[in-house]
Amino acid sequence: MTNIGLIRHGITAWNKEGRAQGSSDIPLHEEGLAEAGRLAERLGGESWDVIYSSNLLRAKQTAEAIQEKIGSIPLHLDPRIREVGGGMIEGTTEAERLEKWGKDWREMDLGFEPKENIINRGLEFLQEITDKHPGENVLIVSHGSFIRHLLRELVPHTDLSSPLKNTSITKLLIKESQWDCELYNCTKHLEVKQIESC
């Protein structure tokens, strides 16, 4: 039995502006660094054995904040868990896409990474992780669209209607080759009220 914690990276300037990021290498916004710190505080009180992260900076910075809090936990970067490639829409807002390509831009050939490729690299990665870490608790820091593609494939019976929030954690459990989602899109660490100093 392997426990997986899937984490979406902290917020970036492009997230705040509503720009498609895809494989563009955007760092965390100052707010995203603070979110990653609060997530790290939460995870520091739990038991995790290893962290895998996308090699894109926004995920790597989130993973490093967690590693710093947990201590001796190893961190590995893996390009297979990068965000879905957005082709020509990377760096654009919805309004800019509508202006440039019209309302049917999603149906156009704008160089999006094929779904088959996303699923294949994700499943190959997860198979390797579960083979390598049986009975362990594994954190995976990745990206919203990539994680949702994987979840639709692994736990299609789970309600995935709410968009993944930045620094959310989704917990999966694999037992006898069967995946189950124990927690989806949880950001309770961001809801902790900050006590103001007098």
Active site residues: 9, 83
Question: What's the rounded Cα separation, in Å, for the pair 161 and 42?
Answer: 25
Question: What's the rounded Cα separation, in Å, for the pair 180 and 171?
Answer: 9
Here the tokens at position 154 are 């692994």
Bridge partners (DSSP) of residue 28 are: 12
8 is in an annotated binding site: yes
**Length of the chain counted residue by residue:** 198
Task: State CA 181 to chain mean position distance.
Answer: 15
166 is in an annotated binding site: no
34 is in an annotated binding site: no
101 is in an annotated binding site: no
The SS3 assignment for 103 reads coil
59 is in an annotated binding site: no
Runs of H (alpha helix) within 71-194: 94-101, 115-132, 144-154
9 is in an annotated binding site: yes
152 is in an annotated binding site: no
Is the separation of the CB atoms in 118 and 86 below 8 Å? no
11 is in an annotated binding site: yes
Residue whose token pair is 């090699």: 55
122 is in an annotated binding site: no
Q: Give the H or E element holding residue 5.
A: strand 2-8
| Residue list, annotated binding site for substrate | 8-15, 58
| Residue list, annotated binding site | 8-15, 58
